[in-house]
Amino acid sequence: MTLEPGEAVVLIIRRNETGLSKYFLAVRKSQSSINPATGDFQLFPLQQSVLELGHESDFSIALEKAIEAIREIQP
C-alpha cells in the first residue's frame, strides 16, 4: 500500500466500554486536511480499512499486528 498526497494512515485504539481488558484496534487510511486556523487534523468521512482487529484482549499482541500493517506502507 502507498500513501497518495493528502492521505493519512491512522491507528485507532479504543477501549471497550463493557470489557475493560478488551480493545478495538484498527488502522485506517483516508484523505485528510489540516485546518490552518486551528491546526486541527481532519479525516474525510470515507475511510479505507487497512487492518481491523476487532476486540482483542491482549493489547500488546494487537498493537504489534497494527505496527506490522503500518510498516507495510510504501513511501
pLDDT of residue 22: 81
**H runs (alpha helix) in the chain:** 59-71
pLDDT of residue 19: 66
Number of domains in the chain: 1
Specify if 19 maps to a domain.
Answer: yes
pLDDT of residue 27: 92
pLDDT of residue 30: 95
Specify if 1 maps to a domain.
Answer: no
Which amino acid appears at position 11 of this protein? Answer: L
pLDDT of residue 61: 84
Letter string b/e over residues 23-36, b meaning 16 or more CB atoms within 10 A of that residue's CB? bebbbbbbbeeeee
Specify if 2 maps to a domain.
Answer: no
Give the residue from 32, 33, 59, 61 showing the smallest Cα distance to 48.
Answer: 32
Q: Count the Cβ atoms, other than its own, within 10 Å of residue 69.
A: 19
pLDDT of residue 32: 95
Specify if 49 maps to a domain.
Answer: yes
Domain that holds residue 11: 7-71
Specify if 40 maps to a domain.
Answer: yes
**pLDDT digits 0-9 by tens, 7-66:** 999 998 888 787 677 888 899 999 999 999 999 999 998 999 999 987 777 788 888 888
